[in-house]
């Protein structure tokens, strides 16, 4: 299979010695401090105990010997392929291959027509998916918002259905419980044609927020995680401590704790089903100690997320992390600088599956249609950085320089015609490159309004059909589909 994604790894905030120190510190945390678990995970604790962990059943505390962690991590695949319903959208997560896409669980949307904030709906998940399907630089579709207009019991299968109906890109979401996971699994099996075909080409994956930082296993999410890996559905082991609140104030302390949480999660997955595909899911963040809220757009978040890829790469596991978050409430200049800086750091860090990179505002509470269009352009710029500068005989253009000669002009050179659309990034229309006179004649629109017009234009096009009508009918007969 041809590798997808562009190579990152140019930015490394940690030295090799730093990475080794943090890994050793995390192993020490698991060995000495351990993790605790909520009631309901007794079978998981017994599985770990049989494998060599020390379990204090009275205090629900598990301590992991180093050799147990090391052996389990070695079973995890170094490469995970996440497929799309359209094979052209398959993404290969290995080494430093970078892919960026959507994410989140926002509960509010900036309405595309009015600009006013309102509760997010199931229709938004579908329409944003249709938008993302046509945005070239957004590589996957992780459900960006919660459908507040349907019963919670109907969330899981309806969210995945809305996503899969909207886009041929890989779909990821969370589920509420094991029953919800099985409904999603059954629906995906109908689309794939068989359970074996789904395992061969997994076009869905699951976020499992198994860790309650610091160092506590969540019963529901850990059970979902284990059930998913039993069926070889790829999982992202999401853990998101906030420095100063649910992890140490220092970046190094946060990274050491988070790495320990990830190692514990990987160990549980590989003991449950050796070789099961998973993504190291560290998402380090910061607490706003003035308000005790979450700071998503800080430059340190970009630095720590780049460091996370180094830690994941150190143990040979692809990673899932975050960029593009903003504390801005609307698509404004603050959103622009926060998103661009954290996304270019995550991309240059080599992170394999970077979610939240498109659409998010207000510290993950809100999404905006036009922000997805703007962020598609930001991601495109970041990917251009990863491509670097190509230096070969044709690109050096020595013959062309000789032909044009001193005082000449390259405007009409065939060499210019050859490279004019590929050498430099081509904007999708959000970035304005007109003269002032032309800009004023066209309405003097700012970037947000240009992006809103582009979003409206995309959504006015006929939707692509990714689920055949006969399969769609079977899904609707088996499940309560509310879209």
Tokens coding 27: 């192993």
Output the pLDDT for position 295.
72
Q: What is the end-to-end Cα distance of the chain in Å, rounded?
A: 35
Output the pLDDT for position 291.
78
Strand, coil or helix: 186:
helix
Helix (H), strand (E) at residue 136: none
Output the pLDDT for position 279.
98
Each residue of 192-218: pLDDT tens digit?
A: 999 999 999 999 999 999 999 999 999
Adjacency order of strands within the sheet including 117-119: 117-119, 108-110, 366-368, 360-361
Output the pLDDT for position 88.
95
Tokens coding 77: 């695949």
Helix (H), strand (E) at residue 321: strand 320-322
Count Cβ atoms within 10 A of the Cβ of residue 154 and give its class: 0-12 exposed, 13-18 middle, 19 or more buried.
Answer: middle
Tokens coding 58: 């009275």
Q: What is the DSSP letter of 21?
A: H
Output the pLDDT for position 301.
86
* Region 374-393 average pLDDT: 95
Average pLDDT, the chain: 95
Helix (H), strand (E) at residue 358: strand 353-358
- What does the alpha-carbon distance between residue 18 and residue 251 come to, in Å, rounded to a whole number? 12
Each residue of 63-104: pLDDT tens digit?
A: 999 999 999 999 999 999 999 999 999 999 988 999 999 999
> In this model, does residue 289 exceed pLDDT 90?
no
Longest dimension (CA), the chain: 84
Output the pLDDT for position 386.
94
CB 268 within 8 A of CB 225: yes
CB atoms within 10 A of CB 210: 28
- What does the alpha-carbon distance between residue 182 and residue 188 come to, in Å, rounded to a whole number? 10
| Percentage of the chain lying above the pLDDT 90 cut | 93
CB 431 within 8 A of CB 447: yes
Each residue of 157-197: pLDDT tens digit?
A: 999 999 999 999 999 999 999 999 999 999 999 999 999 99
Output the pLDDT for position 299.
86
Output the pLDDT for position 3.
59
Output the pLDDT for position 292.
73
- What does the alpha-carbon distance between residue 135 and residue 151 come to, in Å, rounded to a whole number? 30
- What does the alpha-carbon distance between residue 363 and residue 58 come to, in Å, rounded to a whole number? 38
Each residue of 409-464: pLDDT tens digit?
A: 999 999 999 999 999 999 989 999 999 999 999 999 999 999 999 999 999 999 99
Give 2's pLDDT tier (boundaries 50, 70, 90).
low
Give 1's pLDDT tier (boundaries 50, 70, 90).
very low
> In this model, does residue 293 exceed pLDDT 90?
no
Spans of all domains in the chain:
6-14+74-387
pTM tops 0.75, yes or no: yes
* Region 99-113 average pLDDT: 97
* Region 128-143 average pLDDT: 97
**Helix 66-75 crosses helix 16-32 at what angle (to 10 degrees)?**
120
Helix (H), strand (E) at residue 55: strand 54-56
Q: What is the DSSP letter of 464?
A: P
Helix (H), strand (E) at residue 445: none
Each residue of 32-63: pLDDT tens digit?
A: 999 999 999 999 999 999 999 999 999 999 99
> In this model, does residue 325 exceed pLDDT 80?
yes
Give 22's pLDDT tier (boundaries 50, 70, 90).
very high
Give 313's pLDDT tier (boundaries 50, 70, 90).
very high
Each residue of 246-286: pLDDT tens digit?
A: 999 999 999 999 999 999 999 999 999 999 999 999 999 88
CATH class belonging to 6-14+74-387: alpha beta
- What does the alpha-carbon distance between residue 305 and residue 117 come to, in Å, rounded to a whole number? 29
* Region 116-141 average pLDDT: 98
């Amino acid at each position: 299979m041809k590798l997808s994604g562009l190579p990152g790894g140019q930015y490394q905030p940690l030295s090799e010695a730093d990475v080794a120190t943090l890994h050793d510190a995390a192993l020490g945390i698991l060995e000495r401090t351990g993790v605790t678990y909520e009631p309901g995970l007794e079978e998981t604790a017994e599985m770990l105990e049989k494998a060599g962990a020390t379990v204090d059943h009275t205090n629900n505390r598990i301590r992991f010997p180093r050799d147990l962690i090391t052996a389990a991590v070695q079973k995890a695949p170094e490469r995970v392929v996440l497929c799309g319903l359209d094979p052209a959208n398959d993404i290969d997560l290995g080494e430093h291959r970078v892919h960026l896409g959507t994410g989140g669980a926002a509960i509010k949307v900036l309405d595309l027509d009015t600009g006013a904030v309102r509760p997010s709906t199931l229709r938004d998940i579908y329409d944003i998916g249709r938008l993302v399907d046509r945005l070239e630089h957004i590589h996957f579709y992780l459900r960006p918002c919660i459908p507040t207009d349907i019963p919670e019991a109907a969330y899981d299968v309806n969210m995945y259905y809305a996503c899969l109906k909207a886009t041929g890109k890989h779909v990821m979401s969370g589920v509420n419980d094991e029953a919800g996971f099985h409904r999603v699994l059954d629906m995906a099996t109908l689309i794939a044609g068989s359970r074996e075909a789904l395992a061969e080409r997994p076009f869905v994956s699951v976020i499992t927020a198994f860790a309650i930082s610091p160092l506590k296993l969540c019963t529901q999410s850990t059970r979902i995680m284990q059930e998913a890996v039993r069926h070889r559905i790829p999982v992202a082991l999401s853990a998101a401590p906030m420095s100063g609140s649910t992890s140490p104030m220092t970046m190094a302390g946060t990274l050491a704790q988070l790495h320990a949480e990830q190692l514990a999660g990987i160990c549980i997955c590989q003991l449950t089903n050796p070789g099961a595909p998973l993504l190291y899911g560290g998402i380090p963040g910061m607490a706003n100690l003035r308000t005790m809220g979450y700071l998503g757009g800080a430059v340190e978040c970009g630095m720590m997320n780049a460091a996370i890829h180094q830690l994941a790469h150190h143990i040979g596991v692809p990673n899932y992390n975050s960029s593009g978050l903003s504390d801005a409430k609307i698509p404004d200049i603050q959103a622009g600088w926060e998103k661009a800086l954290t996304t270019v750091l995550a991309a240059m860090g080599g992170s394999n599956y970077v979610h939240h990179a498109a659409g998010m505002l207000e510290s993950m509470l809100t999404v905006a249609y036009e922000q997805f269009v703007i962020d598609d352009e930001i991601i495109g710029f970041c990917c251009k950085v990863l491509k670097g500068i190509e230096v070969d005989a044709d690109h050096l253009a020595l013959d062309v320089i000789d032909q044009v000669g001193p005082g000449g002009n390259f405007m009409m050179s065939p060499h210019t015609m050859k490279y004019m659309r590929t050498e430099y990034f081509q904007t999708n229309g959000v970035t304005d490159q007109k003269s002032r006179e032309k800009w004023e004649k066209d309405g003097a629109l700012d970037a947000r309004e240009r992006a809103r017009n582009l979003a409206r234009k995309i959504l006015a096009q006929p939707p692509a059909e990714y689920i055949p009508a006969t399969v769609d009918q079977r899904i609707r007969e088996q499940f309560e589909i509310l879209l």
